[in-house]
């Protein structure tokens, strides 16, 4: 089974790429070298040397994982037949369409991403980000700007020249702050503030490390990522949880402790 608009696919048995509109298996090409000439240079070398790299991707719908060739631009889930985009996106101008890919996204300094939802493997953010961004693996932020949307990733790195202000909660496993960041962080793992790094905001994480020369200003909850501030106060009733959309951006916040 293949996606009806697929231009290329690969054999689940041997891993070789082919076109769904190619001749049937019983019809052989007259010249095998002619087929090689239509391939890009790196694909020719892979065919000649018999080397082909693979990676494991998961389905967006059923979360089933399977191997695909590194050269493939799309595939279909062997479990539910859902289409999976594997392309990389490099954004150099204004872009407003939603992205859902297992490839990488590079938002250049001249680019502007206004998509309401972007899901990718890894991302490098150097331009304006106005929508929500979810990375399966890593995210590198290198810009001076305000980020109104939600961002989440396994690993986030805020570079030294960065100065970002996040209006919504940042959900991450581990985060390294080398520049300046303002916002609320919920980390399932560790928060590391490197020398010269500044973090202004509330943090809920399993651990935090502040190097000499780093600075942190805000409220801190360490040990459990799901522990709320109300649970720390003895005899006080924990406040009801509100959806993030119900909290106005300009609402007054308690004064942070330094």
Residue with tokens 């590194």: 70
Residue 180 lies in a domain: yes
Strand 74-76 and strand 83-85: the pairing is antiparallel
95 and 80 in one domain?
no
> Which of the listed residues 85, 119, 150 is the one where a domain comes to its end?
85
Radius of gyration of the chain (CA): 23
For residue 162, the enclosing domain spans 89-238
- What is the secondary structure of 58-77 as a DSSP string? E-TTT--EEEEETT-SEEE-
64 and 94 in one domain?
no
- Encoding tokens for residue 153? 């990733």
The 10s digit of each residue's pLDDT in 63-93 is 888 888 888 888 889 889 889 999 999 999 9
pLDDT at 54 over 70: yes
132 and 36 in one domain?
no
> Which of the listed residues 67, 85, 103 is the one where a domain comes to its end?
85
Percentage of the chain exceeding pLDDT 90: 50
112 and 36 in one domain?
no
114 and 183 in one domain?
yes
- What is the secondary structure of 209-237 as a DSSP string? EE-TT-EEES-EEES-TT--GGGGSTTPP
Q: How far apart are CA 233 and CA 257, in angstroms?
A: 16
Q: How far apart are CA 1 and CA 23, in angstroms?
A: 17
114 and 77 in one domain?
no
Which residues have CB under 8 Å from 98's CB, separation 6+?
Answer: 115, 116, 117, 118
The 10s digit of each residue's pLDDT in 32-45 is 333 334 445 655 55
Q: How far apart are CA 68 and CA 76, in angstroms?
A: 10
Provide the number of structural domains found in the chain.
2
> Which of the listed residues 85, 114, 133 is the one where a domain comes to its end?
85
Helices and strands of the chain, counted as H and E runs: 2, 28
Residue 61 lies in a domain: yes
The 10s digit of each residue's pLDDT in 208-254 is 999 999 999 999 998 765 544 444 444 445 455 444 444 444 444 55
């Amino acid at each position: 089974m293949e996606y009806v608009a697929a231009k290329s696919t690969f054999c689940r048995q041997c891993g070789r790429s082919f076109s769904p509109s190619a001749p049937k298996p019983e019809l052989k090409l007259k010249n095998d070298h002619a087929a090689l000439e239509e391939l890009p240079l790196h694909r020719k070398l892979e065919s000649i040397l018999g080397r082909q790299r693979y990676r494991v991707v998961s389905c967006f719908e059923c979360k089933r994982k399977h191997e695909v060739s590194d050269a493939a631009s799309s595939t279909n889930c062997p479990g539910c037949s859902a289409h999976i985009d594997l392309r990389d996106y490099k954004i150099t101008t204004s872009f407003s369409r939603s992205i859902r890919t297992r490839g990488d996204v590079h938002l250049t300094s001249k680019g502007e991403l206004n998509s309401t939802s972007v899901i990718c493997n890894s991302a490098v953010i150097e331009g304006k980000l106005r929508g929500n961004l979810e990375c399966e693996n890593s995210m590198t932020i290198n810009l001076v700007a305000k980020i109104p949307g939600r961002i989440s990733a396994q690993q986030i790195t805020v570079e030294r020249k960065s100065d970002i202000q996040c209006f919504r909660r940042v959900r991450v496993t581990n985060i390294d702050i080398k520049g300046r960041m303002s916002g609320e962080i919920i980390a399932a793992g560790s928060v590391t503030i490197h020398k010269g790094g500044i973090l202004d905001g509330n943090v809920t994480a399993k651990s935090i490390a502040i190097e000499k020369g780093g600075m942190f200003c805000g409220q801190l909850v360490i040990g459990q990522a799901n522990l709320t501030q109300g649970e720390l106060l003895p005899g006080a009733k924990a406040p009801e949880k509100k959806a993030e959309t119900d909290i106005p951006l300009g609402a007054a916040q308690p004064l942070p402790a330094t």
